Structure 1
């Protein structure tokens, strides 16, 4: 007797316009992030992820729990741990035991990390402007922000324990 598998409902396929827009989002975001990463690596020897870590730390008075940092970047904790290790080896951050509870690990930006952030930020902002912001109208850019906030809100709702914003 042949095994019976439950039938699944037919997917709600994208129409042609939706498919074109989806593929544009995938290709455009991949190319944009690759370009921003390449620019930072070539000019400053730092990756886009390392830059984002320095930004997050600077927004939190230079220190942040590792778990919270991973959540804010929407990266796995192991990925952030490996990245922080490289940054620690470069003297950009140090890891300390949390003074709050003595258990958690906190990433702390060093003076060298702060100086690098200050030097790298103009390159990053110029890249974001050149390759995104200045290519579209202010209304289209604002619409993009609303769309991505809706996506983020929807996906974050599934992880209420994570501190992503």
Structure 2
């Protein structure tokens, strides 16, 4: 691989093996996400983000707040609100305010939402198995799981931009 200068004012460059690994990972993720998105749209008329929201509600086995949903889905707050609105319009979830905190929105999975999730899950599993797991040995899967868990946990330890304190504009009172 031709060496690419990845340095930027004091930031050390990536080694060629790191750069190649990064590009292979991003391509694999893109290919998998594209096929999963196609399957979810064909089998259920939903996007991957909508699938993630339904999956979190199924796993929770009860209502969650929008903040709890956002903690597990990497998506902007406004985008999450928009996607929840689409799911609500489709009758897959309901949203309501918490009696003890009217600022919090409670999201509940409907029977229709649970049924749709159950209908699209087998195809989702099949696409994931064929594309991601079929070329791997059991030891590969274990090792990949360990590595990706460590990477995910490291990334989750860095607060997302949406969770960072907002900067005050010059001249505004505290």
Q: TM-score range by the shorter chain?
A: 0.7 to 0.9
Question: Using the alignment, how far apart are the partners of 2:149 and 2:49 within structure 1?
Answer: 20
RMSD over aligned Cα, in angstroms? Answer: 2.0
Q: Secondary structure at the match of 1:135?
A: coil
- Provide the residue aligned with 1:79 in structure 2: 79
Query: Which residue in the other structure is 1:158 paired with?
Result: 158
Residue aligning to 1:3: none
Gapped regions of structure 2 (runs ≥ 5)? 1-7, 164-174
Larger mean Cα displacement after TM superposition, 13-22 or 35-44: 13-22
Q: Which residue of 1 aligns with 2:13?
A: 13
Shift, 1:100, TM fit:
4.8
Matches within 5 A, 1:59-138: 59-138=59-138
What TM-score, normalized by structure 1, do the two folds share?
0.85
Using CA pairs under 8 Å that are at least 6 residues apart, name the structure with larger relative contact order, 1 or 2: 1
- Partner residue in 2 for 1:39: 39
Deviations 1:31-78 (A, max 9, x none): 111110111102221111111111100111231100110121122211
Deviates most, 92-101 or 106-115: 92-101
TM-score (normalised: structure 2): 0.81
Structure 1: which 5+ residue stretches go unaligned? 1-6
